[in-house]
Chain A
Amino acid sequence: QVQLVDSGGGVVQPGGSLRLSCAASGFSFSSYGMYWVRQAPGKGLEWVAFVGSTESYTQYADSVKGRFTISRDNSKNTLYLQMNSLKSDDTAVYFCAKPRGGGAPQPFDSWGQGSLVTVSS
């Protein structure tokens, strides 16, 4: 069965950096574009970033563009999110998410358990 395991969260000071990872198994990882979605404490869901199956195509929310970089290693079945210049507004649980199909953006049918990122001095 599909499994997504998020890791790498923690407490970081404003302006700092952090890299999240998502280890995927149970499906053909290299065939799917992948996503990061975040949820601030007590708030709703916010899409963060997308990377195509071969990493040649990426999309970012305006709120993170220029600061976050999504990438993947298909040989390791792992998705990454490099977060730089972190702000307090970036405090959230970050989920990796798998779409239900390939091609155009698809709804998310599997989610990682989430990694909590806290930006605080």
Chain B
Amino acid sequence: EIVLTQSPATLSLSPGERATLSCRASQSVSSNLAWYQQKPGQTPRLLIYDASNRATGIPARFSGSGSGTDFTLTVSSLEPEDFAVYYCQQRSNWPLTFGGGTKVEIK
């Protein structure tokens, strides 16, 4: 099983600041990595697929990078609606696995 480790667990930032979230895989997943955003009481929303491609309707302030085992999700300038939990997920091997999540909270 591929283990995805997200860091930090919590990120405390102010609106307008840049957020940088990390996801590290226990073995290479090539570019088969996605990022999701989940707000309290809501379903997850796909932000980024194949490491760096924005999903439909996702604002340009969200960007993804990386390949192999190290990936980054960047939010260039946090909007109030961006404070949420973010998960990475790999689709390279069965079982599909998610990271434990990073909570981006208002400082």
B3 interface residue (CB < 8 Å to A): no
B98 to chain A, nearest CB (A): 4
* In the complex, number of A-B residue pairs with CB atoms less than 8 Å apart: 54
A108 CB–B CB distance under 8 Å: yes
Residue on A with the closest CB to B1?
A: A62
Size of interface on A: residues with Cβ below 8 Å to B: 21
Minimum CB–CB distance for B30 against chain A, Å? 11
Q: Assess A108 versus B46: contact at CB under 8 Å? Given A44-B87, A45-B87, A100-B55.
A: yes
Given contacts A45-B98, A62-B95, contact A107 B89 (CB under 8 A): yes
Residues of B with C-beta under 8 A to A62: 1, 95
Given contacts A108-B46, A111-B44, contact A44 B99 (CB under 8 A): yes
**Chain B: interface residue count, which band?**
20 to 34
A61 within 8 A of B: yes
Q: Encode A30-55 as 1/0 by CB contact (under 8 A) with B.
A: 00000100000000111100100000
Check B106 for interface membership: any CB of A closer than 8 A.
Answer: no
Using a CB–CB cutoff of 8 Å, the interface residues on chain A facing chain B are 35, 44-47, 50, 59, 61-62, 95, 100, 104-109, 111-114
Going nearest first, the 10 A-B pairs with the smallest beta carbon separation are A107-B34, A111-B43, A47-B96, A105-B91, A107-B49, A45-B98, A44-B101, A109-B46, A59-B94, A61-B95
**Besides the known contacts A44-B100, A105-B94, 5 further A-B residue pairs in the complex with CB atoms under 8 A apart:** A46-B98, A100-B46, A107-B55, A108-B46, A109-B46
